[in-house]
């Protein structure tokens, strides 16, 4: 793996540690942290700081019914799901959502493919496959987009992104990502709002592709 130079912003790591990061972005951050030692160390620091804060908070007495409900849940049968490990280029958090299967690619045209992993009111997460040298149509953002490179690379107006790099794009960024030479570029991308395409054809196809 090449050196990772684009990292998860510290504020986003803090939100992830606190459990307040929306699920689509949490999946991408979890995947990035699994690949990036620097961000994993920073996340552990946030988690330690959160634990220290909890130790200073005054205890609150629980009612008898709440205590009984908690004890009843502890006695309830529990079936654990096997923990998914990294498989090939796909980090453990991605394999967990994939349930151990291979991606189910659907064509978007020009060799570009996607597999939508999750989609709900908080946003969507998808795997994107871009052939070498192929460009994604020029687009802006109506919200936030996180893009983690799992294989290959891409370039855009902000720089070069290789394996393990995370791009954070907001409403201020208009860009045209182009896959680098060599291996196809495979990315994990999360958005909380539809993209804003400049060209007519991508805009017409947008509802069909759920981008």
Looking up residue 198, the CATH number of its domain turns out to be 2.60.120.10
pLDDT, residue 84, reads 76
pLDDT, residue 192, reads 94
**Which pLDDT tens digit goes with each residue over 117-145?**
999 999 999 999 999 999 998 899 899 99
8-state DSSP, 65: H
Query: Residue 41 — pLDDT band, cuts 50, 70, 90?
Result: very high
pLDDT > 70? residue 209 = yes
pLDDT, residue 79, reads 56
Query: Residue 60 — pLDDT band, cuts 50, 70, 90?
Result: low
Task: Give the whole-angstrom CA distance, residue 182 versus residue 1.
Answer: 14
C-beta of residue 91 within 8 angstroms of C-beta of residue 127: no
User: What are the percentages of helix, strand and coil residues in the chain, rounded to 5?
Assistant: 35, 25, 40
Instruction: Indicate left, alpha or beta for 202 from its phi (over 0: left) and psi (-120 to 50: alpha).
Output: alpha
Query: Residue 199 — pLDDT band, cuts 50, 70, 90?
Result: confident
pLDDT > 80? residue 64 = no
pLDDT, residue 117, reads 97
Where in the sequence is the domain holding 92, given as residue range(s)? 1-211
**What does pTM read for this prediction?**
0.83
pLDDT, residue 31, reads 97
Structural domain total, the chain? 1
Task: Give the whole-angstrom CA distance, residue 61 versus residue 169.
Answer: 44
Of 53-57, 59-63, 156-160, 171-175, least confident by mean pLDDT is 53-57
């Amino acid at each position: 793996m090449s050196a990772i130079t684009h990292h998860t912003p510290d504020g986003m790591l803090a939100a992830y540690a606190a459990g307040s990061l929306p699920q689509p972005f949490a999946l991408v951050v979890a995947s990035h942290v699994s690949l990036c030692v620097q961000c994993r160390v920073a996340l552990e620091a946030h988690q330690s700081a959160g634990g220290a804060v909890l130790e200073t908070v005054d205890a609150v007495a629980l009612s008898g019914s709440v205590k009984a409900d908690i004890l009843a849940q502890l006695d309830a049968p529990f079936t654990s799901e096997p923990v998914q490990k990294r498989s090939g280029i796909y980090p453990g958090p991605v394999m967990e959502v994939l349930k151990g299967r291979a991606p189910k690619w659907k064509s978007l045209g020009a060799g570009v493919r996607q597999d939508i992993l999750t989609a709900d009111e908080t946003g969507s997460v998808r795997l994107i496959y871009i052939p070498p040298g192929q460009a994604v149509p020029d687009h802006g953002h109506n919200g936030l987009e996180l893009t983690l490179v799992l294989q290959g690379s891409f370039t855009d107006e902000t720089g070069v992104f290789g394996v393990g790099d995370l791009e954070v794009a907001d409403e201020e960024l208009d860009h045209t990502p182009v896959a680098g030479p060599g291996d196809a570029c495979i990315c994990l991308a999360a958005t909380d709002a539809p993209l804003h395409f400049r060209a007519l054809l991508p805009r017409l196809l947008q509802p069909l592709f759920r981008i």
